[in-house]
Amino acid sequence: MQSTPVIGNPVVSPVLLVGQAPGPREAGLGKPFAWTAGKMLFKWFAEIGLDEETFRGRVYMAAACRCFPGKRPGGGDRVPDPDEVANCSSWLDAEIAINRPKLVIPVGKLAIQQFIPIEKLDAVVGKLHKGERNGVRFDLAPLPHPSGASTWQHVQPGKTLLPRALKLIASHPAWIELKSSRIRDAKETARTPRNIKLSR
């Protein structure tokens, strides 16, 4: 591991996003999906009603591995090994127990593997699955990784399955709840202690 842990905003949410691992720049920027892949990811979510700022304020963003795993000898980011993922698994267990999400969105194969078996993205993207972890049951809506190095979403069947997956997320009750005014964003939650009544 070659960075400090990277985590999202401290918000309790009915939707939990699980990424794979931060890239080399995320630790310095202090937030997940803060570089090129994030631009694509938030473009997808903007298409179904939440811009980046609102998403970060209302969705808890976790990851299979919390630190940048380093580069491969031949170049490119290294995929975290099973021991590194196992070392971070208690964080994900705790976050699921606290948030008790109704919808989990794993992004990329490594994240998807934390919940269901996967050989090919074609078999899981564009479908809603039942998931359970740490005694919490939820719906699972897998997405491909938005890395610029990935071509999956730009060719068939990815060109068809990605919009289908986003449509499933957009119509899910947890996403609809997320878009409503009943969910306060992380900035408002941080500014307002729970035991203090707001004056009008």
Q: What is the CATH number of the domain that holds 43?
A: 3.40.470.10
Q: Is residue 4 part of a domain?
A: no
pLDDT tops 50 at residue 59 = yes
Cα distances (Å, whole numbers) of residue 139 to 77, 107, 135, 200:
30, 14, 13, 38
Question: What is the number of domains present in the chain?
Answer: 1
Q: What is the pTM of this model?
A: 0.87
Which tokens belong to 28? 């310095």
Q: Is residue 1 part of a domain?
A: no
Per-residue pLDDT of 134-171, as tens digits, reads: 999 999 999 999 986 788 999 999 999 999 999 999 99
Q: Is residue 186 part of a domain?
A: yes
Instruction: Report the C-alpha gap between 134 and 195 in whole angstroms.
Output: 29
Per-residue pLDDT of 103-114, as tens digits, reads: 999 999 999 999
Q: Is residue 93 part of a domain?
A: yes
Provide the pairing of β-strand 129-133 with 103-106: unpaired
More reliable by pLDDT, 81 or 184: 81
Instruction: Report the C-alpha gap between 17 and 45 in whole angstroms.
Output: 12
Q: What is the predicted pLDDT for the residue at 46?
A: 97
Q: Is residue 39 part of a domain?
A: yes
Nearest by Cα to 161 from 129, 112, 116, 124: 124
Residue 127, domain extent = 15-191
More reliable by pLDDT, 196 or 181: 181
Q: What is the predicted pLDDT for the residue at 186?
A: 47
Return the SS3 of 42.
helix
Q: What is the predicted pLDDT for the residue at 181?
A: 58
**Residues contacting 196, CB < 8 A, separation 6+:** none
Per-residue pLDDT of 167-195, as tens digits, reads: 999 999 999 999 885 555 444 544 444 44
Q: Is residue 200 part of a domain?
A: no
